[in-house]
DNA sequence: ATAATACTGTTGTAAATGCAACACATTATT
DNA sequence: AATAATGTGTTGCATTTACAACAGTATTAT
């Protein structure tokens, strides 16, 4: 009945531990493959590509970073010419809407291809169905947690 | 066929995103409940409790932190009287073996109980079987990643 | 024996993260 | 109209994290 006597046996901790491996794998791949962007920058580019015309705060909510961190990543990406930030309005408020540039789309596509080759090899031991199931489980669990956690973004 | 065109749709990223929610929930609970230890300290205490007589490096491998971070957490826990580090030998090498104190066991038990009450309420929407299945999936996936990632601990 | 390598733990430092506070503008309240 | 509250983005700082380098010791190689 009381199986969860220890925090390190909870699902929360199991997910955090697994995420650490994912993070380490990501940063090791990125430095090994000499990719011109960081993992965070790729995630940001990817998110912008899939949600054009975002303002910074909405982007921050998607990549789960706070506003200062988001702004700094965007400044770096703008410096490299991968995105542009245009003054615009949202509900009559001045916001900076983000768009990916041609150069940004190219680097996104090229990095995605390089990564895909490496990442495809790894979970060969897991079936496609299993991976899809795990992804759905993650989304479902996150939807539950969303109600409990204050994100302050 | 090519479904993974985007990094943010990979299992890796899904797990990382979910882990962020877990981390935020943990730290928010800890500050709300005025617990006397940090999440990291609880994890460390829990791990020591379940694996007595560890040396620091072996503990680091379990909690997935590097040696400096592990040493600092242990110094804080020793300062509070929750653990002791005794000089000992392992393969004729001088190591500092860690043991939890009476006071450490008490705080571990009390914090675990307080947390359990809160955490039990949350995943009510997920069945016990589903949670167990997800934990097993995490362990299985971690076992696969272990072969690909250099941990340098 | 001497040098080279490996293991454990520490110190120091650069980078990332989290958070509070601010500036500025718009909307809501009184 | 004046004040308060909300929304967006920035700056600054304290904490955490990752990593390289070191000290000290034991093992291995030559």
Give the pLDDT confidence of B42-99 residue by residue, as tens digits: 999 999 999 988 999 999 999 999 999 999 999 999 999 999 999 888 777 778 899 9
| pLDDT band per the 50, 70, 90 thresholds, residue A68 | very high
Report the DSSP beta bridge partners of residue A93. Answer: A90
Q: Which residue is nearest to nucleotide D10 (CA to C1')?
A: A68
| Host H or E run for residue A29 | helix A11-32
Can you tell me the distance from the alpha carbon of A26 to that of B123, in angstroms, rounded to the nearest whole number?
A: 29
B-facing residues of A in 107-126 (CB < 8 A) are 112, 115-116, 119-120, 122-123, 125-126
| pLDDT band per the 50, 70, 90 thresholds, residue A106 | very high
Q: Which residue is nearest to nucleotide D25 (CA to C1')?
A: B93
Q: What is the DSSP letter of A10?
A: S
* Closest by CA position to A145, among listed B26, B1, B39, B135: B26
Can you tell me the distance from the alpha carbon of B130 to that of B123, in angstroms, rounded to the nearest whole number?
A: 10
H helix and E strand count, chain B: 6, 3
Tokens of B147: 């072969």
Decide if A138 and B15 are in contact by the 8 Å CB cutoff: yes
| pLDDT band per the 50, 70, 90 thresholds, residue A116 | confident
Question: Residue A91: its pLDDT value, please?
Answer: 72
| pLDDT band per the 50, 70, 90 thresholds, residue A110 | very high
Residues of chain B with C-beta less than 8 angstroms from the C-beta of A65: none
Tokens of A130: 């299993």
List all residues 6 or more positions away from B37 whose beta carbon is below 8 Å from its beta carbon: B30, B45, B77, B80, B82, B107, B111
| CA nearest to A1 within chain B | B128
> What does the pLDDT average to over A60-65?
96
Domains contained in chain A, CATH given: 38-148 (1.10.10.10)
Decide if B145 and A17 are in contact by the 8 Å CB cutoff: no
For residue A1, pLDDT beyond 50: no
Q: Which nucleotides of chain C does any protein CB come within 7 A of? A: 7-13, 16-21, 25-27
Residues of chain A with C-beta less than 8 angstroms from the C-beta of B28: 149-150
| pLDDT band per the 50, 70, 90 thresholds, residue A4 | low
pLDDT tens digit sequence for B117-153: 887 777 678 898 999 999 999 999 999 999 989 888 8
């Amino acid at each position: 009945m009381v199986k969860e006597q220890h925090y390190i046996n909870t699902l929360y901790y199991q997910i955090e531990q697994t995420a650490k491996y994912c993070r380490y794998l990501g940063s090791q791949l990125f430095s090994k493959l000499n990719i011109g962007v960081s993992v965070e920058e790729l995630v940001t580019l990817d998110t912008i590509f899939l949600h054009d015309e975002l303002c910074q705060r909405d982007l921050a909510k998607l990549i789960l970073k706070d506003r200062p961190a988001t702004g700094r990543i965007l400044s770096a990406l703008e410096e490299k010419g991968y995105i542009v930030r245009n003054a615009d309005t949202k509900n009559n408020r001045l916001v900076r809407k983000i768009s990916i540039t041609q150069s940004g789309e190219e680097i996104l596509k090229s990095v995605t291809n390089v990564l895909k080759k490496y990442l495809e090899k790894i979970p060969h031991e897991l079936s496609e169905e299993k991976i899809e199931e795990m992804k759905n489980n993650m989304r479902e669990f996150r939807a539950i947690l969303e109600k409990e956690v204050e994100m302050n973004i």
